[in-house]
């Protein structure tokens, strides 16, 4: 089986589809696509590679030019890997509310991380990025509206899913959205090749941007001109910034999206933990939230239904977050009792 790769970048994508055994309701075929298998642990490795290679091809990114992006972490980490492997300096802007391990990971990979005030949310980090890119002539990756993002998913993630379920049923595909790249790109492929598959989008109950039915105010260049009225802070890092990304908006307008499910924060945490304890699958809060949406569908679905759930990142991004708040570092009473049982 030994395969040699020319660089770490060739290992992006082709993530496994894995059956859920103990958590799946009886008679439901429940599968997950585990994006934590990407080299830097998240689905965002795909868009990072897609955006940089498209910019190289078009000439928008010159050799040695600095790349800049606003990110809640995973895109920055993916970009840090791609830029390190290809030799581009990287500057990342990030709201200070996101987990500390993300900043450290990016700096470890050689990126510069500029923190923006939590109160200014995602729109704040985006405007800081625009100012810096203009002032220094840097290449702005524009993950929220760059077509290279959904195009990468149309080229890789979508076909991987079609291949995995060739000749089999695929009744539901369940995803969340950060930029909307996965949603938009995969939806194009499923609408075209598996039109019977229902597309379900999950979002935080505290920030139901799509569910609110309210439009996003935009500047002429497509960037959001203000935060979305339905947005409130929520702990699902990487999900729904405080605006509807243009790529997500495009998906809603042009693709067949069948259902939007609001997910309570506690459910996101609970299912992330359940996946670890009952299935041995170690994923983050957004993955738990997406899985919560799939479990809602599974509860009412007829026997024989097949559901595929996207799990966007690894649980290791969340050690400093509420997900791990009640996981002790020291021995519990129960553990101490086990230790003492042999004197």
Query: In the CATH hierarchy, which fold is given to the domain comprising 8-42+153-324?
Result: Rossmann fold (3.40.50)
Common-topology check for domains 8-42+153-324 and 44-140: yes
Residues 240-263, buried b or exposed e (16+ Cβ, 10 A)?
bbbbbbbbbbbbbeebebeebbbb
Closest CA to 146 of 113, 123, 179: 179
pLDDT for 28 beyond 90: yes
Residue range 31-71, pLDDT digits in tens: 999 999 999 999 999 999 999 999 999 999 999 999 999 99
pLDDT of residue 238: 82
What ranges in the chain are assigned the alpha helix state H? 44-58, 74-86, 100-108, 121-136, 148-155, 157-164, 181-193, 246-254, 265-274, 285-300, 333-340
Residue range 110-146, pLDDT digits in tens: 999 999 999 998 889 999 999 999 999 999 999 999 9
pLDDT for 343 beyond 80: no
pLDDT of residue 97: 85
How far is residue 280 from each of residues 168, 236, 273, 276, 287, measured CA to CA in Å?
26, 21, 10, 5, 14
Per annotation, catalytic residue among 33, 44, 246, 296: 44
Q: Is 44 considered catalytic here?
A: yes
Query: In the CATH hierarchy, which fold is given to the domain comprising 44-140?
Result: Rossmann fold (3.40.50)
User: Domain map of the chain by residue range?
Assistant: 8-42+153-324, 44-140
The predicted model scores a pTM of: 0.95
| Rounded Cα–Cα distance for residues 287 and 309 (Å) | 9
Query: Which residue is associated with the tokens 């992330």?
Result: 272
pLDDT for 1 beyond 80: no
Give the mean model confidence (pLDDT) for residues 137-162.
97
Sheet holding 90-95, edge to edge: 112-116, 90-95, 67-70, 139-140
Q: Is 86 considered catalytic here?
A: no
Per annotation, catalytic residue among 42, 72, 272, 286: 286
Paired tokens of 155: 């080229």
């Amino acid at each position: 089986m030994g395969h040699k790769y020319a660089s770490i970048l060739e290992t992006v994508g082709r993530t496994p589809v894995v059956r859920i055994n103990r958590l799946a309701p009886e008679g439901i075929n429940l599968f997950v696509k585990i994006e934590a298998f990407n080299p830097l642990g998240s689905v965002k490795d795909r868009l990072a590679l897609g955006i940089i290679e498209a910019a190289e091809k078009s000439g928008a990114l010159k050799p040695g030019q600095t790349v800049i992006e606003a990110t809640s972490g995973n895109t920055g980490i993916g970009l840090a890997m791609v830029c390190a492997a290809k030799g581009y300096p990287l500057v990342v802007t990030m709201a200070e509310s996101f987990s500390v391990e993300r900043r450290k990971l990016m700096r470890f990979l050689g990126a510069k991380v500029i923190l923006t005030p939590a109160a200014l949310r995602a729109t704040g980090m985006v405007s800081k990025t625009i100012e810096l890119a203009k002032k220094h002539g840097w290449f702005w990756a524009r993950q929220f509206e760059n077509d290279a993002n959904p195009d990468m998913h149309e080229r890789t993630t979508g076909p991987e899913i079609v291949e995995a379920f060739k000749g089999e049923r695929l009744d539901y595909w369940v995803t969340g959205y950060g930029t909307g790249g996965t949603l938009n790109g995969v939806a194009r492929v499923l609408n075209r090749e598996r039109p019977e598959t229902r597309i379900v989008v999950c979002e935080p109950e505290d920030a139901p941007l799509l569910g609110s039915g309210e439009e996003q105010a935009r500047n002429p260049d497509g960037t959001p001109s203000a935060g979305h009225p339905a947005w409130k802070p929520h702990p699902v890092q990487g999900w729904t910034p405080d605006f509807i990304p243009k790529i997500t908006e495009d998906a809603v307008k042009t693709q067949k999206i069948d259902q939007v499910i609001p997910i309570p924060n506690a459910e996101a945490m609970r299912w992330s933990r359940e996946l670890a304890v009952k299935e041995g699958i170690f994923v983050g809060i957004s993955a738990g939230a997406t899985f919560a949406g799939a479990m809602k569908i599974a509860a009412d679905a007829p026997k024989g239904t097949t559901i595929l759930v996207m799990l966007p990142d690894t649980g290791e991004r969340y050690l400093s977050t509420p997900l791990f708040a009640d996981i002790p570092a020291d021995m519990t009473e129960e553990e101490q009792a086990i230790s003492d049982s042999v004197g």
